Chains A and B, each alone.
Chain A
């Protein structure tokens, strides 16, 4: 006799997504919804209908993200706890940031961002040390430091958001409005994207490369702060006072972060490929795997960059009176998009792999860098929200 259909089905059945969720997952979902409800109740008069939509949309989007990538839940809890702690220490007095110990040295936005910077640099050192010595322990320290850096960066942004309202209610805004703030965002997002791939591919060997570009961003951030005083919270120009900023900018930086990550993996690939038996190649994952990470990162970046550019066009239609004006920033967004579109075509339709695409990804980083930094530095246009 044959085995029953039911028996086989039972044997092959994989538990459904919902069945696989643990208590932590449900708590995560509830905490996000509760947080959104609380924020809605408390700040309803500061938000328009779109912003309320974005608030709930974000909360809902992060539920499956936390389910699919469990460590995100821990990060969320830590960031929420520290941010709430900091905000309550502030009360309604901005000056508390100078007088209270925990604020001054840990949780004011400036201190948190300094901690983020220090932790990212330490993580970079740890990853390189781990890379050189192949020490699993040092690698783990590197991961832990990167997680901590991302947490402190997010706390810094959250608290900065609150501080801007403490300066004056009409100055208050989400801290993604100028070059200084988005550089913090860039470091955090690139770090988190790296951590995601680290887990997914179960290798920490690419950390040294990924963290190097983040340290570069941190170096720029520190220069920008100490030389140019860019960390001062500035009020928003009228064109930026829009809910679009809350979705356009983060979507863009997922794109930029992913492209930066792809470029650094590209660098690792090129080194490993040119000296296959060398010191570095022996420590890196296989070329195929790095090639795959590069593709994954560029695909993710491209998808988000597409969304960000479309959102940008829609915002431009509302703020500048036209969805496309060939403004330098718009044009460079198009150039970046075309560049990666060409990359993807080469890979998907021509079947290119490896070396040439790794070179292209590295060059792509410079194109991307020009789009988000160079345009502000060298070109003038409507999108001038942070000059050097």
Chain B
């Protein structure tokens, strides 16, 4: 029994490990967390899959064996205990009981026995009677034998649950992988290319795996996660996803998602159609198909790429699907554009909405990564429609270096027609050295003193270089240059001021030109709106350096395609486990709430009257039983007084 308690505690402590260290993550995550040395140590201890590790299974095995042995050894005794009325108890041991009362009464022994037996029966005790050799009569009472049944039920339940769990576990798979018969695949392969030694036939007795099905696709296999790799498990049926639907609450959280499935049995051809949802799986011949998750299944995106690294103001159309990797050539070298995700809704909380709504949908967005030759990537999220920020609308594009960071947003202002054209025209002219030089010259016209042509050209050159630096590398580069040339803070500030004035002047000149090209007449005055646009455009230009992308990708249109994450299981042990659970629950309640109690009344003849000994035992619930015993003793006392005494008559 000491072993049982030790095992319970040890398993509890061992279980903690797997909750503290996240289990079954990609090995690279562990390496970066612990470093190569500790990674290997922990790996040797199977700490990345504690609950599937040999040592944990051995612990559970010990629990199983220890419980089995306990049940095996104790059950026969318990059954005897349940049925036997201890009529063989000795007077001496009765006298030694903690709970006992003795009386000497002038009542005939037969009458005393009769009355005591009646009392015990009325109080729920089963009673057996024995004539002892010494002429005494022993009554043995018992109730609550089901308590013993509770012991047997609850302890066998543990065995039953373990066996059921073992049937559903992936122990056989691990053994086969260990023997080399199966090879756990670790490469990222399309399903059709998974080699046969990593594929399991459709007749497997138990498994639990998942597959992601895009709308319109079908599959007759799933993937099982094993260690840091996977196996392909064939299914005896093909499951097709006809349609996937997702609904949202007003707050944007998903309210429900469901898949219309068509299942075709590969041998009988039988067809089952069912819509599954979370908490509502499809069960077919012992296989269960669950709605587990959802993702993008390759939505088609029509994009427009606006150059950010050259003097072109025209957008180039592009096309791709989520999951695609497009190889691009740019002046700075080849880039890979990875289309990562698409979201049709972006619902965020808003404050002081005029209509009183607490949440607003900001429309579709898509996420992409730009990866350079070295493998370094920046991640972007772009919104299709303009997003209001402080009462003004902007095209939003967020950029970050890693998923752990927050996005930094680029806010591009909208032109008259709600498009990007004006900003892109301004940007293009700021990269067009001819136009910039012309603008600088025209700015210099207004200066009082007329420097020599040579000085003039030098000034034009350096201002044009400043504009170039501002647009290509951003405001931070300009500030860095100032910091590199002066140290005196006063001088520094005045230099920054003059740089900014120059930039504003030149870019303002270019902006006037852009407005003219649009057919407006800025000489007659620039509208409030257009001047606000210019301020916003300057801010956006100053951010393009760190933005780091050679183009701005605008989402023109999309064709959404969802993928439904299905989990498919076969768990023949489930019913066994449930049976064990029921046994456990019934057993526990029987053990705690049915009390096994024994009571003895021994009546011997004494001086023509009776000598009565009353004793009881109920170890597990001493306090309650003492109460009951006291009450019974008082009642028995009263009965033995017997207001009509045989002896008296």
B623, CB-defined interface residue at 8 Å: yes
Q: A residues within 8 A CB of B569?
A: 321-322
In the complex, are the beta carbons of B567 and A2 less than 8 A apart? no
Q: A338-B11, A348-B620 are in contact. Are A168 and B250 (CB under 8 A)?
A: yes
Interface residues of A in 310-328 (CB under 8 A from B): 310, 313-314, 317-324, 326, 328
B350, CB-defined interface residue at 8 Å: no
Q: How far apart are B573's CB and chain A's nearest CB, in angstroms?
A: 9
Residue from the set A13, A170, A341 with the largest chain B CB neighbour count within 10 Å: A341
Q: A5-B118, A170-B249, A319-B279 are in contact. Are A339 and B19 (CB under 8 A)?
A: no
Q: A residues within 8 A CB of B2?
A: 350
Q: How far apart are A62's CB and chain B's nearest CB, in angstroms?
A: 18
Q: How far apart are B148's CB and chain A's nearest CB, in angstroms?
A: 13
* Interchain CB contact (< 8 A) of B249 among A13, A235, A335: A235
B103, CB-defined interface residue at 8 Å: no
Q: Contact flags (1/0) for B242-258 with A, using CB distance below 8 Å?
A: 00000001110111110
Q: A residues within 8 A CB of B84?
A: none
Interface size counted on chain B using CB atoms at 8 A: 67
Q: B residues within 8 A CB of A307?
A: 585
Q: How far apart are A284's CB and chain B's nearest CB, in angstroms?
A: 16
In the complex, are the beta carbons of B256 and A238 less than 8 A apart? yes
In the complex, are the beta carbons of A12 and B635 less than 8 A apart? yes
In the complex, are the beta carbons of A299 and B250 less than 8 A apart? no
Q: How far apart are B160's CB and chain A's nearest CB, in angstroms?
A: 13
In the complex, are the beta carbons of B255 and A235 less than 8 A apart? yes
In the complex, are the beta carbons of A375 and B19 less than 8 A apart? yes
* Interchain CB contact (< 8 A) of B16 among A235, A242, A288, A335: A335
Q: B residues within 8 A CB of A14?
A: 122
* Interchain CB contact (< 8 A) of B585 among A168, A306, A319: A306
Q: A237-B253, A338-B9, A349-B1 are in contact. Are A323 and B574 (CB under 8 A)?
A: yes
* Interchain CB contact (< 8 A) of A338 among B8, B279, B624, B644: B8
**Nearest neighbor of A303 in chain B, beta-carbon distance:** B588
Q: How far apart are A231's CB and chain B's nearest CB, in angstroms?
A: 15
* Interchain CB contact (< 8 A) of A8 among B16, B51, B115, B588: B115
CA distance A121 to B505 in the complex (A): 68
In the complex, are the beta carbons of A331 and B5 less than 8 A apart? no
Q: A residues within 8 A CB of B556?
A: none
B152, CB-defined interface residue at 8 Å: no
**Nearest neighbor of B246 in chain A, beta-carbon distance:** A238
In the complex, are the beta carbons of B118 and A8 less than 8 A apart? yes
**Nearest neighbor of A299 in chain B, beta-carbon distance:** B592
**Nearest neighbor of A293 in chain B, beta-carbon distance:** B623
A49, CB-defined interface residue at 8 Å: no
B443, CB-defined interface residue at 8 Å: no
A239, CB-defined interface residue at 8 Å: yes
B310, CB-defined interface residue at 8 Å: no
Q: How far apart are A129's CB and chain B's nearest CB, in angstroms?
A: 29
CA distance A256 to B643 in the complex (A): 53
In the complex, are the beta carbons of A319 and B20 less than 8 A apart? no
B479, CB-defined interface residue at 8 Å: no
CA distance A334 to B623 in the complex (A): 30
Interface residues of B in 218-266 (CB under 8 A from A): 249-251, 253-257
- Can you list 9 A-B pairs with a CB-CB distance of less than 8 A? A3-B643, A242-B279, A314-B578, A318-B280, A323-B578, A342-B8, A345-B4, A345-B5, A379-B19
Binding site for A on B (CB under 8 A): 1-2, 4-5, 8-9, 11-12, 15-16, 18-20, 22-23, 50-51, 108, 111, 114-115, 118-119, 122, 165, 208, 249-251, 253-257, 277-281, 288, 290, 292, 567-569, 571, 574, 577-578, 581, 584-585, 588-589, 592-593, 620, 622-624, 635, 639, 642-644, 646, 649
Given contacts A13-B122, A350-B1, list 18 more A-B pairs with CB under 8 A.
A2-B111, A235-B253, A235-B255, A238-B255, A238-B278, A238-B279, A241-B278, A289-B623, A300-B592, A319-B279, A324-B165, A328-B19, A331-B19, A334-B12, A335-B15, A338-B11, A341-B8, A342-B5
